[in-house]
Structure 1
Amino acid sequence: MDIEELIGKLDLGTKVRLLTGADMWSLPALPQIGLARLVMSDGPIGVRGEEWSSDDPSIALPSPTALAATWDVELVREAGRLLAAEARRKGVHVLLAPTLNLHRSPLGGRHFECFSEDPYLTGEIGAAYVEGVQSCGVATTPKHFVANDSETDRFTVNVKVGEKALREVYLAPFERVVRAGAWGVMAAYNSVDGTTMTEHRALQRDLLKGEWGFDGFVVSDWMAARSTEATAEGGLDVAMPGPSGPWGAKLEAAVREGRVAEEVVDDQVRRVLRLALRVGALRLTPDDATADGCAAIDGTALAREVAARSFTLLRNEGGLLPLAGVRSVALIGSAAAEARIMGGGSAQVFPDRIVSPLEGLRARGDVEVRHALGTDPRIRLAPLAVPCRALFLDAEGGVLAEHRLAGAEARWIGRLPSDVDTGRLAAVEIRAACLPDVSGPHEFSVVGVGAFTVEVDGKTVLDETISLTGGDPAAAFLAPPERRFTVTLTSGVPVELVVRHPRAKFTGMAFVAFALCHAAPSPGDDALIAEAVRAASGADVAIVVASTTPEVESEGFDRTGLALPGRQDELIARVVEANPRTIVVVNAGSPVEMPWLERVPAVLLTWFPGQEAGNALADVLFGDAEPSGRLPTTWPVREPDAPVLQVTPTGGELAYEEGVFVGYRAWERAGRVPAFWFGHGLGYTAWSYDSVAVTGKTVTVAVTNTGERPGREIVQFYLAPQDRDPGRPARALAGFSVVDAAPGETVVTTVHLPERAFQVWTDRGWSTVPGDYTVEVGRSVADRRLSGTVTG
């Protein structure tokens, strides 16, 4: 029995049913051919599974920008293997990751979920991610194919991009992961040159499946498929979610009426069955290997290691880091006590533990750590951080099921817990006991869409229906509206809080997403900043953890600026004035302005560092681990300096007028100097670049650790055509290598420059440009230490 024989056993209706979600996250089982359900789940930093709830926790790795900042493909493969093990634990066959879109503009709101501004680095890190996950029998769907590099009007925007830029920049990472053997690709919401991607025959059928020979399946982004014949003929294989949508009976009718050839449906089914065979959801013979996944990996230890290796030391004047002989630390900032470990949106998971910087530093035990809030930049209140109960109620108020929550956030999207009788479900409640430690007016809020009542000790304090505004259908769970109310509480006197969310009868997909949020009384930012200054002045070292917020970096919207939110810049300036030994830890997924940069001796970028944030930070600050990250994107001084900024469409179109000049390529062409160049990052030791030898297109470099402690270096190789062509970048990354060395040790590393590095896209296809090139080797795109000549 083979796949072709199985296809022959299926009637048209059954084949079409296999191509649309049975629900939010799965394709239907076909027991008659031995096919199990195929389950998909969001990533990329963890595996959520079918229940988006703290009731089913997940490992939370650092953000994709952090993964790319390691420049370490083997470490990324190991992270992929961990995610595959998590997927298998949760019954997931397909991980909806990684994101291969580029950091075209620093205003991109989903910047943190992408790897880099550079297509080569994105492709290499993305390929390692894919290889790691799939080596354990779990599929990936690199996304969002293609040119989905910003969020504004993402469902409708038409991206205008030339063929040369499309091929050399935006398609390049996808081509790389297809060569790495990706089993899936996700089609984006946006249009490219007038055709929405789920219907884009030229890019999906002709290029992806034809020219590149991709034999996997193409799945729509959720709700991206909005037509029947055009999507089927355009190369889409699976329309998600289901069971409603543009396919089903409509596609079956289109085939029966001759508007779509049945051979198209057969190819779609063939690709789904091939996927099922690869992930172990289908066995053609008793001898077929079952995809059992990889051996268990210590997720906590790996999350800590990846975080530390991703941390990027931007500045370290006077060798302030690593800390030595420090007895007291003033740890300042709202993100010091409540770490921002991940970006918002579909990348969000619920880990079973989060180690804040405050917890991580205090756990060392040999340093006195005093915390001061300083200022709270968050626009919205944070979910009440106490253990809660979620009750599922029938129309008479009877309890159908009860589930524990780590905090006051209820989220079930796609399906409810298996013990809930959806036919009888009439309401969902969150019940929480709050023990205030401060007397006064406490602010609370409900975040969600629909009808809500809130009771405090049996007294109703809110009874309201909250409506959604805007045109993004995903906003109900990505950025739902907030309703606030104030309750006066007494320190030490517990209160019982109940949020009830009545629901209409559930039909189709389950959707429960709401939270009870809280903020204790605050003396105000002026008093908080003054308190932070006093703490800093009395400590050996001051550490300010500055962060973006969910209102700044998340899915569904782009950024409106690069300044740190709230009064954090003022806080940092005041603290460093009080204590010159100040370290600023930047807890952000993408660039922020740093007007205080020249006054602060040490700046450490931790990205969104995952669940082990605090432990990894303590490791790096005190020298137990080296911050070996390097910037995967160029960091501007000020927002207007960035040569590519535009993310807002005009008349429904977003023109990529910069062509191939994105990232450092654009900075160099514009002659502008950023705060920190692509590839920049300091460590805790020093390196000499000793020699370079070129043989054909193979480059060998010797580097020496000239410092006093072991270290890690990212050796970067840039290729620059000696015959300048204004249509080509001055140089481009063509290779990199991670090396480790003991003090005084010399390490030799070799890279082979890929043929594509010497090629450009022309009307006739890929063409190698002959002539001499300079291969430049160094520590960043602007810090090139050695060079040699190679012939194209």
Structure 2
Amino acid sequence: MKANDGISISKKASLLCGADFFGTRAISDLDIPRLQLLDGGTGMNFEQLFVDQYASYCEVNGYTRTELDNVAHFYFEEGKLTDRERDLRDYIMSHEELRTGLSGIAPGCYPPGILLGSTWDPEVVRRVGEVLGQEADMYGVDCLLGTPNVNILRDPRNGRFFEGYSEDPYLAGTLGREIVKGVESQGIASDVKHFAANNLEYKRGTINEVISERALREIYLPAFKMCLEAGAATVMTSYPKINGIKATENQHLIREILRDEWHYGGVNMTDWGACTGDSGEAVEAGIDLLMPGPWSDEDILNALSDGRLSKEHLNEAYSRVKNMASKYGYRPQVTQEEAAEIIRRGDKAAYEAAAEGIVLLENNGIFPLKGTEKLVLYGSEKLLYCGRGSAQVFTNRNKALGDSFPVVHYGDDEVFSSEPMSVAIVVCSIDSSEGSDRKDLKLNPETIRVLDRLINVKCSSLLSGRICLVLNTPGPVELGDYINEIDALWAVYYPGMQGAKALVDLMYGARTPSGKLTCSWPVRYEDTPAFLHYPEGDTAYYGEGIFVGYRGYEIRKIAPLYAFGYGLSYTTFDIGNVTTYKGTYTADETVTVLFSIENTGEYEGAETVQLYVGAQESSVRRPIKELRAFKKVRLGPGQKTSCELSFNASDLKCWDEELDRFALEDGIYDIYLGNSSDNAARVLSIKVIGGDPAYRIGIDSYVIKIKDNPQLYSVLMEDIVRHDMDIAILIDAERYTPYTRLSELYPDAAELSEFIRVCSLV
């Protein structure tokens, strides 16, 4: 059967189905090329690439999947391979040279979202996106998956916590879209995942997440919208059910929001194996590409026959995948000289990201090092450069921590106990992976043993040195009483291939720390807003609603150990002279806040000025304040400059579930300025007018809202009597059903002219 355009329905259906594990289907007579898909947002994933390219060869030649996995993992560590595995590696290496036209290349391992987010620097993030796109081109990859992962950092136990950018949707979207811009600028298709709310790994394929519409709209969806508006070619749906419906078949999310509201015209693909229902219904819901392959088109064709899928939606999906293949499927091969330059740029971009994103959390006078200290290293000299799963990268381009220090002693307690100028560098490395969540936020046992031993030495010897803890972790950890015993603390997360070099440069003052946290660090896990809502069965209730991260800490008056936006520097800054152009703004006007910032210390450095806004009063419960703008300002010692930050008054809308839309309420809004969520002072207030009329008091207001204004309530009662309406109806409603609208009590409420007149003056 052929459609009106002469292309058979079966060919159209087949294009929506993956051809192999990481490839789309080629249709040669329609000049539609195969697209090579691959993770990811931290670099080329050899495990995926080798399965896609060489699984068939292995099957024919008697190699096991374990042997192929080992070759991927130890491709650059030949000594760890068996003789058979070395033979397989040699075949793959020679074939890769033929496939790419390049020899002697290795992928870069770039910092994941949590560290890129900690840069608070859009330009740094965009440059990482550019080199990710260039390396994808180098390896013949057309679509780079997970560029970016903007799932909100809701619960620090999440196994993929390190992949996300922030607990704040505005920050996640602002930085995530720079990855999109960078990747797309190189002619590579970017991919935003996981749409939506893939915030835990626990039973991710079957869990039902119960999330309010308001939380979806305000917290879990905005970063996706920002990335798609930046030009992302694709978006990937998530595994879970959301409010009872699988994300891959969720018409509300895909058809109504993504397509109809946001007018997104790119390709919507499933996560690998996420579509566990009927393929035809997934396409009807708005899915364009079903992965992985080989995926059967049988149910798509059946759905067309029995009416579960419309031809219109099939044609739309076909056109989107075809257009993507036409746009991204043809590029000239990278030359050997170009590859060498790409690797050089990649090393530089990875270094800058790590140097700008590593966060100094505590510093009791240790750093910057003077160069005379004796350093004793505990823990592995090889950091965990990346997490496991889709974000893992195997390469020979990683820099070791031990090699980055000028001189270092390994685990020498004698040096630490007898040298007052010694510094123990204790590296706490905690692994994390896609597929499972962390059991807790504890330090690992080996780190605890080392710290206990060093603290005992420190307490018993006047000659002992000082203790620096380096957290090579996927996210926050509980520090307990150790926070009072250590002298310095760094959060390096998984810092990528240049992370060790960047950390050492920061320690010695070659760079000044400027990283800021993008998630709140709890004193204990129980303090996190989502703690009580970690699932034990098949349902995850997002009971904290919109109060994720710092929003939840502030509304509950629980102080985190380290607040959102926090990070130390070697220098100090003073922010002052804060003003706006005027005090009253209409609902669609831009609000510009002007301020000065001065470096009052002795080192060159950068400060991230953060602007938060909070409503003084609101008809719906709102966070105390929310991030609306930020700027990273770099200044030399004694240097001072004038800056400005802007946001639109319409950004202050919140999702009203009764109105079923975003709505802005007139009122007074406080503006806070500072360098973290708990160090942002209220500097001024603005008045916003011209908001949603539904919030203005009148005949459609609840009785309880009118009653809260005694003068207005008195006018109402008098007007009811004046119009011979039954006052007892109002009195009963006040007592027993105060959340009834006045117009529901009195069908002729529009006749209450005096009440309406006075309302207009309120």
The Cα of 1:663 is off from its aligned counterpart by 0.2
State how far apart, in whole Å, the 2-side matches of 1:357 and 1:635 are: 25
1:706 is matched with which residue: 594, 600, 607?
Answer: 600
State how far apart, in whole Å, the 2-side matches of 1:177 and 1:773 are: 28
Does structure 1 residue 789 correspond to structure 2 residue 685? Answer: yes
The Cα of 1:544 is off from its aligned counterpart by 2.8
SS at match of 1:77: helix
Partner of 1:316: 363
Partner of 1:567: 446
Equivalent residues in 2 for 1:603-614, closer than 5 Å:
603-614=489-500
SS at match of 1:715: strand
Higher strand share: 1
2:507 is matched with which residue: 586, 598, 621?
Answer: 621
Cα pair 2:672 2:684 within 8 Å, conserved: yes
Equivalent residues in 2 for 1:571-586, closer than 5 Å:
571-576=450-455, 577-578=457-458, 579-586=464-471
The Cα of 1:109 is off from its aligned counterpart by 1.5
The Cα of 1:749 is off from its aligned counterpart by 1.9
Number of residue-to-residue matches in the alignment: 610
The Cα of 1:730 is off from its aligned counterpart by 0.3
Q: Which has the larger radius of gyration?
A: 2
- 2:375 aligned partner, one-letter code: V
Equivalent residues in 2 for 1:460-475, closer than 5 Å:
none
Partner of 1:527: none
Equivalent residues in 2 for 1:534-573, closer than 5 Å:
535=416, 537-538=418-419, 540-550=421-431, 553-573=432-452
The Cα of 1:580 is off from its aligned counterpart by 4.5
State how far apart, in whole Å, the 2-side matches of 1:125 and 1:141 are: 15
TM-score of the superposed pair, with normalisation by structure 1? 0.74
Deviations 1:686-723 (CA, angstroms, capped at 9, x unpaired): 10112112135111221000111211110100101122
Partner of 2:151: 101
Deviations 1:246-298 (CA, angstroms, capped at 9, x unpaired): x4123223324444222221111111122223324499xxxxxxxx9998461
Cα pair 2:415 2:422 within 8 Å, conserved: no
1:331 is matched with which residue: 345, 361, 377?
Answer: 377
Does structure 1 residue 269 correspond to structure 2 residue 165? Answer: no
Partner of 2:31: 34
Partner of 1:21: 18
- 1:72 aligned partner, one-letter code: D
State how far apart, in whole Å, the 2-side matches of 1:293 and 1:130 are: 22
SS at match of 1:661: coil
Does structure 1 residue 85 correspond to structure 2 residue 134? Answer: yes
Partner of 1:473: none
Partner of 2:704: none
Q: Over the residues paired in the alignment, what is the CA RMSD in angstroms?
A: 2.3
The Cα of 1:545 is off from its aligned counterpart by 3.4
SS at match of 1:298: helix
TM-score of the superposed pair, with normalisation by structure 2? 0.77
Cα pair 2:362 2:490 within 8 Å, conserved: yes
Deviations 1:326-360 (CA, angstroms, capped at 9, x unpaired): 242111113xx221111111110112222121111
SS at match of 1:654: strand
Partner of 1:494: none
Change (3 A) 1:224 1:756: farther
SS at match of 2:669: strand
Deviations 1:82-124 (CA, angstroms, capped at 9, x unpaired): 1000111111111111111111112212100111111111111
Cα pair 1:205 1:234 within 8 Å, conserved: yes
- 1:719 aligned partner, one-letter code: V
Change (3 A) 1:205 1:67: same
Partner of 1:369: 408
Cα pair 1:34 1:282 within 8 Å, conserved: no
Cα pair 1:569 1:594 within 8 Å, conserved: no
Cα pair 2:109 2:397 within 8 Å, conserved: no
Between 1:199-208 and 1:690-699, the stretch displaced more is: 690-699
Does structure 1 residue 742 correspond to structure 2 residue 627? Answer: no
Partner of 1:307: 354
Does structure 1 residue 676 correspond to structure 2 residue 562? Answer: yes
Higher helix share: 2
Equivalent residues in 2 for 1:33-432, closer than 5 Å:
33-48=30-45, 50-51=49-50, 53=72, 54=75, 57-97=106-146, 98-226=148-276, 227-244=278-295, 247-281=296-330, 296=342, 298-317=345-364, 319-334=365-380, 337-361=381-405, 364=406, 368-372=407-411
Partner of 1:767: 663
State how far apart, in whole Å, the 2-side matches of 1:24 and 1:677 are: 42
Partner of 1:632: 518
SS at match of 2:445: coil
The Cα of 1:646 is off from its aligned counterpart by 4.6
Equivalent residues in 2 for 1:412-561, closer than 5 Å:
532=413, 535=416, 537-538=418-419, 540-550=421-431, 553-561=432-440
SS at match of 1:718: strand
Change (3 A) 1:354 1:282: closer
Cα pair 1:355 1:615 within 8 Å, conserved: yes
The Cα of 1:149 is off from its aligned counterpart by 0.4
State how far apart, in whole Å, the 2-side matches of 1:293 and 1:132 are: 18
Note the residue ranges of structure 2 that are not aligned, 5 or more in a row.
52-71, 76-92, 94-104, 333-337, 459-463, 586-590, 689-762
- 2:391 aligned partner, one-letter code: A
Cα pair 1:774 1:788 within 8 Å, conserved: yes
State how far apart, in whole Å, the 1-side matches of 2:439 and 2:467 are: 29
Partner of 1:716: 610
State how far apart, in whole Å, the 2-side matches of 1:61 and 1:706 are: 33
Deviations 1:12-51 (CA, angstroms, capped at 9, x unpaired): 1211111111101111222222222111111111123622
Change (3 A) 1:674 1:726: farther
Change (3 A) 1:23 1:558: same
Cα pair 2:529 2:547 within 8 Å, conserved: no
The Cα of 1:641 is off from its aligned counterpart by 2.1
Change (3 A) 1:261 1:759: same
The Cα of 1:613 is off from its aligned counterpart by 2.2
State how far apart, in whole Å, the 2-side matches of 1:570 and 1:7 are: 72
State how far apart, in whole Å, the 2-side matches of 1:146 and 1:338 are: 34
State how far apart, in whole Å, the 1-side matches of 2:497 and 2:606 are: 24
State how far apart, in whole Å, the 2-side matches of 1:754 and 1:88 are: 38
SS at match of 1:141: strand
Cα pair 2:416 2:465 within 8 Å, conserved: no
Deviations 1:403-444 (CA, angstroms, capped at 9, x unpaired): xxxxxxxxxxxxxxxxxxxxxxxxxxxxxxxxxxxxxxxxxx
Cα pair 2:118 2:515 within 8 Å, conserved: yes
Cα pair 1:107 1:645 within 8 Å, conserved: no
State how far apart, in whole Å, the 1-side matches of 2:556 and 2:351 are: 39
> Larger relative CO (CA 8 A, sep 6+): 1 or 2?
1
State how far apart, in whole Å, the 1-side matches of 2:479 and 2:160 are: 21
- 1:347 aligned partner, one-letter code: A
The Cα of 1:176 is off from its aligned counterpart by 1.4
State how far apart, in whole Å, the 2-side matches of 1:694 and 1:51 are: 57
- 1:591 aligned partner, one-letter code: P
Change (3 A) 1:282 1:703: closer
SS at match of 2:193: coil
Note the residue ranges of structure 1 that are not aligned, 5 or more in a row.
284-291, 373-530
